[in-house]
């Protein structure tokens, strides 16, 4: 397991590279050029600047999250060809600086959805919270009105200057079914995966968060059956999954550890975090410790260990603790604690394996 840490860039993150370097076992950053709009080709100058900053601290830049997919590709419009070509050129550039994995998603319009960015837990820490009934009751047109009239309201990945397109996007997706989205994803993969393979970069799709339809929009990377279908769309080792225990784990029907065991050879990147699920379908993010949430983190790490996982992993989201002011879900302290918890499990499994081998040789 190769531990990496999400970093949003100099001046765009409260966490610094020298702090990341001090977390035991972390060898690289998970990064992106967040100021480049979806669909545009990434400038080589900015890519090299990120590598220069990371090199200074001895951190690799082998995992990118995300090279965002333009909505025209998801919608299957004729204009997608332009954006797919830009995507290919970006893959080629990233290969030149040693990138090995690109995480991306195929969620229409929005990325992750939450109703509260700082919901308080029993211990006084705060975390990202999802209130299912509130989301289920929101009509798309009402959402558009609220977001355009109240600039202080935000949605993940949607800056104020992009909100003017929201109404048009909902209209564009009105007649897009899940099967349409599957077909558009297949077309994208058929164009991209050969280029990824040529450049030795594994593409790793992120599951939908939460793993069910929202605001009437289709979502398809949601469970074991759909992940299996996805991997068969283009059956190539360079077509893989960013297996996120928090996203998939929000649905109690998803057994994430069993997914790890089934898809181990197609998981180049792992997001490991915990969520606590309530009976009414609400969920809140917790510490990584298994007993704090509803996801069996111990069994998940065990599944990776059993399969000799040598890919990249990050602690994903964390709580906001000790008064830290940070990007919601991305504080330094709780993610660093999460890393040490994950290493503790891994080290215990390594020791047990060595002792079993030693006993078998006596």
Q: What does the alpha-carbon distance between residue 97 and residue 115 come to, in Å, rounded to a whole number?
A: 38
Measured distance CA(53)–CA(59) in Å, rounded? 9
| Closest of 139, 162, 146 to residue 68, by C-alpha | 162
Locate 64 and state its tokens: 């990118």
CB atoms within 10 A of CB 96: 12
Q: Tell me if 31 sits within 8 A of 64, measured CB to CB.
A: yes
For 144, phi then psi, to 5°, come to -60, -45
Q: Which three-class secondary structure state does DSSP give residue 68?
A: coil
Q: Say how far residue 347 (Cα) sits from the centre of its chain.
A: 25
How far, in Å, CA of 153 to CA of 170, rounded?
Answer: 18
Q: Tell me how far apart the alpha carbons of residues 101 and 156 are, in angstroms, rounded to a whole number.
A: 22
The residues that are catalytic are 206, 244, 271, 316-317, 330
Tokens 């007993």 sit at which residue? 291
């Amino acid at each position: 397991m190769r531990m990496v840490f999400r970093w949003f860039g100099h001046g765009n993150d409260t966490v610094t590279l020298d702090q990341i370097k001090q977390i035991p076992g972390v060898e690289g950053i998970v990064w992106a050029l967040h100021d480049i709009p979806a669909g545009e080709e990434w400038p080589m100058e900015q890519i090299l600047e990120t590598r220069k900053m990371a090199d200074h601290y001895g951190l690799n830049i082998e995992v990118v999250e995300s090279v965002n997919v333009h909505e025209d590709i998801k919608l299957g419009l004729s204009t997608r060809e332009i954006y797919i070509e830009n995507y290919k050129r970006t893959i080629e550039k990233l290969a030149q600086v040693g990138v090995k994995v690109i995480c991306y998603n195929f969620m229409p319009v929005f990325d992750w959805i939450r109703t509260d960015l700082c919901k308080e837990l029993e211990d006084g820490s705060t975390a990202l919270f999802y209130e299912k009934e509130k989301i289920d009751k929101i009509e798309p047109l009402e959402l558009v009105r609220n977001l355009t009239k109240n600039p202080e309201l935000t949605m993940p990945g949607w800056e104020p200057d992009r909100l003017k397109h929201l109404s048009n996007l909902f209209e564009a997706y009105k007649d897009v079914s899940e099967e349409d989205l599957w077909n558009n994803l297949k077309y994208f993969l058929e164009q991209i995966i050969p280029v990824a393979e040529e450049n030795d970069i594994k593409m790793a799709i992120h599951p939908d968060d939460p793993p069910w339809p929202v605001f009437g929009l289709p979502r398809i990377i949601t469970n074991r059956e759909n992940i299996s279908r996805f991997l068969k769309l283009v059956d190539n080792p360079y077509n893989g999954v960013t297996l996120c225990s928090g996203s998939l784990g929000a649905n109690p029907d998803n057994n994430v550890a069993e997914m790890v065991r089934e898809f181990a050879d197609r998981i180049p990147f792992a997001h490991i975090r915990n969520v606590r699920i309530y009976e009414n379908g609400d969920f809140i993010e917790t510490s990584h410790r298994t007993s704090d949430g509803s996801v069996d983190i111990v069994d998940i790490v065990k599944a990776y260990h059993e399969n000799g996982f040598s890919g990249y992993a990050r602690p994903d989201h964390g709580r906001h603790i000790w008064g830290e002011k940070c990007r919601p879900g991305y504080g330094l302290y709780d993610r660093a604690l999460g890393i040490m918890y994950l290493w503790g499990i891994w080290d215990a499994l390594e020791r047990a394996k060595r002792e079993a081998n030693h006993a078998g040789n006596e």
